[in-house]
Chains A and B, each alone.
Chain A
Amino acid sequence: MYVTDSIRIFYTIYFISVCLFFTWFIRKIRKSDVSQIETDEKKSGIDKRELRFFLILISIIILAHIITISNMVPWQRWRLWSKPIVVKTYNIEVSDYNFKFPEEPITFEKNQFVEFVLNSTDVTYGFGVFRKDGTLVFQIQVLPGYKNRFVWNFSQSGYYDVRSTEYSGPKHSDMVVYDAIKVL
């Protein structure tokens, strides 16, 4: 299961919950509930229910940060929590709507840390690696005037396509290289 599948499941549950909440809410506010009608709040300061909601929100946000910073998002392991030993570095030059790869295809073994160093000599591009089913493995921006470094560990062997993920002019959509990466 990809991380995007987890996002899909999370968001679907959230979407259904919001729909159900509004269905309940609209039904509720149609009718008068005399036993629970309140007069205007007399006390100043924060209402207990509001405070409770605030604390729940804060707790959910902290939990979300913990989950997404932890190794549950696989690449956080080497992006945040360890200094991976890079087996191979690939310098890729991007200019005039073209990727110039050091070898075609770039070939390495799976479960190794490889580093891509991208350098644009004209405008901003993107560097996105895609599986053969079209799903995104990762992407970064390629800013001109900078060495744009990114370390990745491919856990599945096979061929991968590369696309520019940032608009760089009218021919941007043609910036796709099929089978640019081969993982053994």
Chain B
Amino acid sequence: MENNELTFETKWTIRYVLAALGFLFLTIIEGMMMRISHIKPDCLSTEHFYSVMTVHPILGIYGYAYMAIMGAFYFLMPYLLKTQVYNKKLIPLNFWMQSIGVIIVWCSGFFTKFNALYTLYWPLPVWFSRISNLGAVIFCLGAAITLVNILLFTYNIFATMIKRKPVNGAEKSKLYSFGDYLKSAFGLDRIFKKKKEIQEENKLYDTLPVFVVAVARGSIDTVVNAFVILTCGILILIFAIPSLLGFGTLNPHIIDALIYKNWFWWGLDMIADGNVLMYAAGTWYLLIPMLVNRKLFGEGVVRTVILADLLISLGVWSHHLLADQPQPLAMHLISGQFITSGEIVTVGLTIFASLMTIYLARPVKFTPALKFILVSMFGFMLGAVAGITQANYGLNVVLHNTQWVIGIHGHTMLLLGLSPLLFAIVYALIPLLLNREMKSHMLVNLHLIFWVAGVLIMVIAMGSAGLNGMLRRTIYHGIEFKTEMNIAMIGGISIVIGFLCLLINLIRTLTLKTIINIVFPLRRTMN
């Protein structure tokens, strides 16, 4: 397929995917820099090490993962709803705002060594004897651009769903208001409608494809996340800008560190325990039936599970505060442990429905996308149970802030759960977008083998170090934990090889000429 035959959305989806992979490449480089530092602690200054650690997750989540998700959703939502994107002008705007916002955040680390970490625990980001004042301003401005952009993107996705514009020839579907959607997202239409009415008319969310339901419900968490983190950024700017301009410094202790931490984690956790799980579930529900050519198993239950996911995600943030003694015990137990464990039920049921769909469709063809989907379920199963182990009032005493948390939980979820799912989307979308298969199946398999083996080696080494007492966010200058970190390094190298296999295969499939034409278009088309 020639470049000029590609539609506007298709071109932009490919641009988003390429940018996402670019950000993943940067994230991997930063990860490897930190891996090397754990073996040779003096190769980076401490300021440099912690500034890398600060921007590494921002690039990974808001650069790589969000760019991939935005590109995929801008193609899939109109495709599934048989409509057009509500505001096409927002597609390029979202692309540039997201890229620029994330690059500005990266600059805060590169040029000013801003190193308050992504956790931004109050009052460290405004403690300017330790943290760069200019860096705090740059970081927050970059983050603000990114978060405002996410709100614009979510608006466009909701508007696409609510104000559906039928494509040529398609029947116009019934329109609902935003309030109707919001009520239905939380299942309130089931509660407030009379039984007879429910029987006569389907609940609104039952009329939508499961993927759209997952995106819509997950996007509620996305909005909460963006709003809450924006407020934290504004707070930091209120302290940072006057100080930078020489108008004196405000006393950071006027802000209660515990209330701030609760508010911050309530918002931030909407990603890790909210939209990631719902978007992942939605993607499994979309891709698996497509790939195995069978109806999704237990679709009715699946819709309810997504609703449960949304409700649970609103009440789990306190597991990040299990080590904070001033936090009330009831919050530790109810929010931190009991409600959090509900996620095992929702993730478990989601994976059960997905695996049953594949099982009932046997024999199945192991396409690249299906292979990576299976890996992603494997990753979520491993990472989720590790997470629940640490989200426990008793066990957190010996696990909090150890390498266990970031290794066997965090990086398993991100690199063995979320990433293979994003790779599966790429492998599934390419035939759909370009009408051609991946150039080399051997490279697909090498990508899978090196990536999975690398992640497993790395996270097991990190997890083991954590159980032996190695802390995250800490540089050890002695000989302690060097064996585990050397093994983790081998895993890291394997991940890099896996990523290069994907990149080479993608370039060969798209062809360099097409990529150049898509990245630097000669003329604008809005077909």
Contact = CB atoms under 8 A, between A and B. Distances in A.
Interface of A: 2-5, 7-8, 10-11, 14-15, 18, 22, 25-26, 28-33, 37-38, 40-41, 44-47, 49-50, 53-54, 57-58, 61, 64-65, 68-69, 73, 75-76, 79-80, 122-124, 126, 128, 130-131, 133-141, 143-150, 163, 165-173
A134 B326 contact: no
Interface in B434-474: 463-464, 467-471, 473-474
B300 interface: yes
B117 A167 contact: yes
B131 A143 contact: no
Given A65-B338, A123-B124, A144-B123, A172 B344 contact: no
Contact of A28 (B359, B393, B473): B359
Contacts of A61: 341, 344-345
What are the 7 closest A-B residue pairs judged by CB atoms, nearest first? A169-B130, A73-B394, A173-B475, A170-B46, A167-B473, A29-B362, A135-B469
A167 B402 CA distance: 12
A47 B117 CA distance: 46
Contact of B395 (A45, A73, A148): A73
Interface residues on B, range: 35 or more
Contacts of B42: none
A123 B398 CA distance: 23
Interface stretch (B226-234, B277-285, B382-390): B382-390
B253 to A, nearest CB: 6
Contacts of A7: 389, 395, 398-399, 467
Interface stretch (B4-12, B65-73, B350-358): B350-358
Contacts of B463: 11
Contacts of A31: 362-363
B381 interface: yes
Contact of A126 (B117, B321, B395, B401): B401
Contact of B374 (A8, A26, A37): A26
Nearest to A173: B475
Contact of A124 (B124, B337, B363): B124
Contact of B474 (A5, A40, A172): A172
6 contacts: A50-B301, A54-B349, A64-B341, A140-B323, A167-B124, A169-B127
A36 to B, nearest CB: 9
Contacts of B366: 30
B199 to A, nearest CB: 12
A147 B324 CA distance: 11
B419 interface: no
Contacts of B402: 136
Name which of B123, B295, B361, B397 has the most chain A CB atoms within 10 A of its CB: B397
A28 B355 CA distance: 12
B362 A49 contact: no
B257 A144 contact: yes
Contacts of A3: 395, 398
